[in-house]
A and B are shown apart, each in its own frame.
Chain A
Amino acid sequence: MRLRRWRQTRLGLLFISPWVIGFAVFYLYPFFATLYYSFTSFTGVGNPVPVGLANYSGLIHDGTFRTALFNTFYYTIIEVPLSTAAALGLAILLNMKVRGQAIYRTLFYMPSIVPVVASSLIFVWIFQPSFGVVNSLLTDIHVQGPTWFFSITWSKPTFILLGLWGLGQPMVIYLAALQGVPKEMYEVAALEGAGPLQRLRNVTLPMISPIILFNVILSLVLSIQYFTQAQVIESPPGSPGSSTMFYVTYYYQQAFTDLHLGYASAMAFLLFILVLIVTVLLLKTSSRWVYYENDQR
């Protein structure tokens, strides 16, 4: 019996070996290598020189690092709830049976398939303060528009607005989840006298809460790693006045511009710890607000 089980286990391991090897080579090794390099001074060539905890203590005293941390926190704390609410709201609207429903769904999904760099450059023109569409519209209603991406005050909110451009992906996932909610539950709730808001609060949201959790975690991780749009739009990266110096922007600068790979490795490892803590906290608190139908049976 034991021999048979061992054979089965061995066969199972053999079948998953392509994944295991890929994981070990492309994830596990880089992970431990990053951890090792974070305790060294390394420029990418020659031998890394051990420096103990110097990179980590350097980060504590690094003003730009603190700014990057703050900017990333600012972006995440606003972007994640805003994009979650907007994507969910859109999905609820697009789930209603109205004429042209498929066209609306396509229209709202389409922006998310535009490459990030292309959409960033388009938004440079949309938010151009002197001849962009947004400020022209604001001028029409006698409001003086800001300089958006190029204002120390407005740059981060503008990137948050740009983030809403890619709502299509979570919206489609919410839409699929909404269609999985049994109609009978709405019928029963209606019979009990529940209005639309009560049905949303007491039926829809609990039923799709696992999907909300999934999207929130995904959105959180992506927000903490925010990089491409800011790197493409701002020159020098992080400007104006360090207001768009996000965590990964600074990490990239340290690693690939200044060749401080040891320092950047420490940043990368801290980023991993940060994402891990946030994700674990979210999962821990999820038992209070996520409803798993199977658990109740």
Chain B
Amino acid sequence: MIEKIHSTERAREGAVWRRSGRRQRRRRAALTSTVLIATSATLVLAACGGTAASSSSNSSSGVVNLTWQTMWSGNTLTLLSQMVNAFNSSHPGIHVTESNIPSATGDAKLLSEIAAGDPPDVFTEWNPVLGEYAADGTIQSLAPYLTGKYAGLEKWEYPIALQGGQYKGTLYALPMSMNSWALYYNKSMLKAAGISAPPTTMAELYADQAKEWKISGNKLSQIGFYPIYNLGFEYFGSFFGAVNCFNSAGQYDFAGCKGAQSEASFLAQYDKYPYADVAAMQTAYGAVAGGDDDAFVAGKEGFNMDGPWEGAQNIPVTNPAMTSNFGVEAFPGTEPAPSTFGQGNYNIVPKGAAHPSAAFTFISWLAGFDNVSFTSQIDPKGGWMPASPAIVSAPAYQTWLKANPWLQVFVNQMSSPYSVTPTLTKSESEFETAEATATEAIGEKTKTPQQALAYIDAQANSGAGG
């Protein structure tokens, strides 16, 4: 029956078609082509995402719409939502929409958006890349906005937080989550090794950690301390005066820098331990909990150089049993006061952003300026160091400090005159990649410390091209 109906319809269509003649066929072909071209164009435009709606704009109600692109994942996303909601509630004239694209894809998307001239109004980036963006003219100087109530913003920040957002002395970014580094130690492992107090010198550290390694045959089950992993060369730089090693021509000169030579020798001291096994253990633990786990969090490492998020977020979330089993101290040794090198995630306004003034209002709010009370509650949740001592003084942060006294080490470091931040350069990415490779080469013993330093210089100094 159905087949019969269909054939009747086809016959009717055929009759109409035959009757309509050449003109009708032309009209139909034109209509078909119009529909096809329109459909194709719509599909292409939709795929490109290049419609006007994606850009920031003023709505008819006069509200400025901003897009904020971040690259976080996991638990932090909840915090970002809270921050956006709080900002939108307290700023009726600005509406922020957060767009989150995890790291690798995010970098590619951001680059495409910038190249296409359609960047987000604000984006968050790890501050070492600032130098490249600023040198290329991709991002806006924030100097024009440091007037009126914002005139004191730079002085309001910790010096290392301020420097992390400057390129050649000009402010280009404001911090949102600052980092600082200190030495975590596992209390029960110290006790089991017969050590009564954490080390106070580098020699003591070396001797103490040596008692904690557990290697049976070819099986590594416990690490003492292993600084030759990941960005080890960078993490320990401030303790040896090896953060900013440049020659008079402004080029990287780690091979000729005494601090860097001392640091390389310090790292090489640990090359008797098995790099591959440590890397395998750290990667295995890092493969769970979205990368928030490591051998220290798992209770398999005696000492670990890490940031405040390790104690504030990674341990409580991934291995709560460790919460009461760790302590933190400044890296023992080289300076008369606790020091560190500071880096962090900074907020940036790209050149071409439609509403730079509103964007500046938003990123200064995210830094905590004029927003101390809210930020003093958010920073502890993220395990982030505040950008200003004003946030640390706030009641909520003080309450957090009392509950987590280990955090005081990091707070002291932020205001230490010995703390430094890497000078931002155009080839900071190449420099960081080279540091990681050089650290690994020392651990693998494929390069001598001096060769590793020369490698860093060669890679970083050749990295200004495109």
Contact = CB atoms under 8 A, between A and B. Distances in A.
A49 B465 CA distance: 10
Interface stretch (B157-165, B171-179, B217-225, B407-415): B217-225
Contacts of A258: 427, 429-430, 433, 463
Interface string A1-19: 0000001001100110110
B437 A259 contact: no
Contacts of A257: 107, 429, 433
Given A124-B283, A148-B280, A46 B137 contact: yes
Interface residues of A, number: 55
A253 interface: yes
A45 B137 CA distance: 8
A124 B284 CA distance: 6
Given A41-B466, A130-B221, A240 B107 contact: no
Contacts of A149: 280, 283
A179 interface: no
A240 B104 CA distance: 21
Interface in B444-459: 444, 446
B40 interface: yes
Contact of B440 (A11, A25, A239): A239
Contact of B444 (A14, A26, A241): A241
Contacts of B276: 129, 147, 150-151, 240
B283 A129 contact: no
Contacts of A43: 132, 136, 466
B218 A144 contact: yes
Nearest to B352: A45
Contacts of A49: 466
A104 B218 CA distance: 37
Nearest to B45: A25
A130 B136 contact: no
B395 to A, nearest CB: 40
A157 interface: no
Contacts, number: 151
Interface string A250-263: 00010011111111
Interface string B409-437: 00000000000000000010110010011
A18 B283 contact: no
A21 interface: yes
A188 interface: no
Given A240-B276, A240-B440, A260-B465, A45 B284 contact: no
A292 interface: no
B446 A241 contact: yes
Interface string A209-253: 000000000000000000000010101101111100000000001
A258 B133 CA distance: 11
B11 interface: no
A121 to B, nearest CB: 4
A160 B433 CA distance: 26
B284 A125 contact: yes
Contacts of A256: 104, 107-108, 111
Contacts of B114: 44-45
A44 B47 contact: no
Contacts of B283: 124, 149-150, 233, 235
Nearest to A259: B132
Nearest to A40: B466
Contacts of A125: 284, 287
A42 B440 CA distance: 30
A262 B136 CA distance: 14
A125 B283 CA distance: 9
9 contacts: A21-B43, A44-B136, A45-B136, A46-B138, A58-B465, A130-B220, A152-B444, A233-B283, A239-B437
Interface of A: 7, 10-11, 14-15, 17-18, 21-22, 25-26, 40-46, 48-49, 58, 121, 124-125, 128-132, 144-145, 147-152, 231, 233, 235-236, 238-242, 253, 256-263
Given A14-B36, A231-B104, A262-B466, 15 more contacts: A22-B40, A25-B48, A45-B114, A45-B115, A49-B466, A58-B465, A130-B218, A147-B277, A150-B275, A150-B276, A236-B436, A239-B437, A259-B132, A261-B466, A262-B465
Minimum-distance CB pairs A-B, first 3 = A41-B466, A147-B276, A150-B276
